[in-house]
Amino acid sequence: MHWALRREELCDPGLCPDAPEEDGERCDHCPLDRLDAAQCAEKGLLIRRALDLMGALKLGVHIGLDEIRADEFCAMLIIAEERDLLEREKSPTWRGRHP
């Protein structure tokens, strides 16, 4: 989840010395490819369901707790914590304390 929210920090094909010459192509060991593969695996699909549930709730859809699986609820909590951490990392006071 951490890197899914920070995807743009994983790789810049323009700066990667191993990237092919074609614009935007990735190298053979690109971390973005590994992230994409993980997002299509079972845990990645769980995160996608949790994000969909969070989006539905934000839109005002009424979903009872008994309609949310335990693993989806845990994933929702982790996503919320990671989003909060990302926001704190982006704040000027965080950057002043952590180079």
- Which tens digits make up the pLDDT trace of 11-33? 876 777 777 776 667 777 888 88
Same domain for 68 and 58: yes
Same domain, 62 and 93: yes
pLDDT of 16 reads: 75
Asked if residue 50 and residue 30 are part of one domain, the reply reads no
60-86 pLDDT per residue, tens: 999 999 999 999 999 999 999 999 998
Do 48 and 34 lie in one domain? The reply is no
Closest CA to 54 of 12, 91, 43, 46: 46
Measured between its terminal Cα atoms, the distance across the chain in Å is: 22
How many independent structural domains does the chain possess? 2
Question: 89 and 46 in one domain?
Answer: yes
CA 18 to chain centre: 24
Of the pLDDT bands very low, low, confident and very high (cuts 50, 70, 90), residue 90 is confident
Please tell me the pTM assigned to this model: 0.71
Give the domain range for residue 94: 42-99
Do both 50 and 24 map to the same domain? no
Contact (Cβ atoms closer than 8 angstroms) between residue 79 and residue 51: yes
| Mean pLDDT for all residues in the chain | 85
